[in-house]
Amino acid sequence: MTLSDTCCPESTQLQEIKDEAITYIDSLYRTAVRMTGNAADAEDLVQDTYLRAFRSIEQFTPGTNLRAWLFKIQTNSFINEYRKRVRRPRNTSLDDVEEYYLYNHLVESGVQPAKSITEDEILEQIDDADVFRALDELPDNFRQVVLLADVEGFAYREIADILEIPVGTVMSRLHRARKRLKDQLLDHRDQIESGVKGQNDA
């Protein structure tokens, strides 16, 4: 298509960008739900994100990552507007999580390096509520990197741009958040197993 094919190519292009932006609404919403902790605040946050995005749509560079651009707007909006309103107490660090590498941790604690557990076996014993609870217990800035990396599939570089932090910080937050998440979910699994065992013994 050349410019002469249409009466107003600029507005057509802007409309196309907006239409594409709306296709990312599920991603933005599910992230917003996990960040705000409730559906009503999540809806407000997402609507606000689109309002800001549409108002400044001319600032978006076509050909660059529109989904990442929207996430950046939503993240800023969350930090500046919504975090203040959230009722539950929030800490911002995982200081109690030791920064050992997984292997060292396993060796030092004398734990058998992971019996292989299949995805189905994990799913059988952990439901959505367990996963959400474990995520909710992470401090905001750690939960954010897990959502962006593991749920939305952004690369380290993209996450660094969205959150305006160095790539090294993205990696260390991810490392610690995932370790915490895994410990919580598998602890939960162990509790269920020992619970079942206890019942059988009785």
Partner 1 sequence: MRRCEEIAALLYQYIDRELSDEEYREVRQHLDECPPCKDVFQLEENVLTVVAKCCRNVSAPQNLIDRVRRLSAEHTE
Work out which of 83, 90, 133, 182 binds partner 1, going by CB under 8 A. 182
Between CA 39 and CA 68 the distance in angstroms is: 22
Work out which of 76, 86, 140, 178 binds partner 1, going by CB under 8 A. 178
- Nearer Cβ to partner 1, position 79 or 185? 185
Between CA 185 and CA 124 the distance in angstroms is: 12
Provide the minimum distance between the beta carbon of 200 and partner 1 in the complex, in angstroms, as a whole number: 25
Between CA 85 and CA 79 the distance in angstroms is: 10
Encoding tokens for residue 30? 């599910």
Work out which of 83, 93, 122, 197 binds partner 1, going by CB under 8 A. 122
Between CA 100 and CA 80 the distance in angstroms is: 33
Q: Pattern 124-163, binding to partner 1, x per CB under 8 A?
A: --x-x--xx--x----------xx-xxx---xx-------
The residue count for binding partner 1 (CB under 8 A) is 57
Check if the beta carbon of residue 156 is closer than 8 Å to that of residue 75.
no
Q: Does 55 bind partner 1 (CB under 8 A)?
A: yes
Encoding tokens for residue 142? 């750690």
Contacts of 175 (CB under 8 A, 6+ apart): 99
- Nearer Cβ to partner 1, position 153 or 195? 153
Between CA 53 and CA 70 the distance in angstroms is: 7
Single-letter code of the amino acid located at 177: A
Between CA 188 and CA 130 the distance in angstroms is: 8
The one segment of 38-46, 59-67, 90-98, 193-201 that binds partner 1 by CB under 8 A: 38-46
Between CA 17 and CA 66 the distance in angstroms is: 8
The one segment of 14-22, 61-69, 73-81, 82-90 that binds partner 1 by CB under 8 A: 14-22
Residues that bind partner 1 (CB under 8 A): 11, 14-15, 18-19, 21-22, 25-26, 28-30, 33-34, 39, 43, 46-47, 50-51, 54-55, 57, 101-104, 106, 113-119, 122-123, 126, 128, 131-132, 135, 146-147, 149-151, 155-156, 171, 174-175, 178, 181-182, 185-186
